[in-house]
Amino acid sequence: MRSGKRTDLSPRGVRSARPEDAEQLARLFDQLGYPQPADTLGGALENTLDDPRAAVLVAERDGALVGEATCYFVPVAHESHPWCRVTTLVVDEAHRGRGIGRMLLEAAETAAREAGCSRIEATSALHRTGAHRLYQRLDYGRTSAHFLKRL
């Protein structure tokens, strides 16, 4: 799903991100542990928004972004349909516990179905136990280990 195809994914305030969201997204990514200047993020955001195999979803309340999820639709050689991988999910610290993470994941699942994905997976750092509880409440199972090597 390209960001320009559909802007309102939920009647409750989840929409596709726009380039002008970079400054507010930088604040959210800082809370997630990925600090970067808004202008640097702006270039990466535009590249992601232009990618037909990606979706950047934001939750908005009263003109402010209160959450974000990034999804990639990844072809896999061992299945006939792509998988959706949620690579970031963050809810503003002041808005946690209000169902925003659930809304973002539901929007990600909708985007994944629209992209023809057969599965959705989420990666989450080991110390993010609150996020793990959210995934488990939404029927995401812990089925494998995730290994990462920086290059």
Pairing of the two strands 54-61 and 64-74:
antiparallel
Tens of each residue's pLDDT in the chain, 151 residues? 434 344 444 446 899 999 999 999 999 999 999 998 988 899 999 999 999 999 999 999 988 999 999 999 999 999 999 999 999 999 999 999 999 999 999 999 999 999 999 999 998 888 999 899 999 999 999 988 888 899 9
- The CATH code of the domain at 14-137 is 3.40.630.30
Nearest Cα neighbor of 52 from 24, 25, 82 is 82
Q: How far apart are CA 104 and CA 143, in angstroms?
A: 22
pTM for the whole structure: 0.87
DSSP state of 144: S
Measured CA distances, 96 to 99, 101, 103, 114, 132 (Å): 7, 8, 12, 28, 14
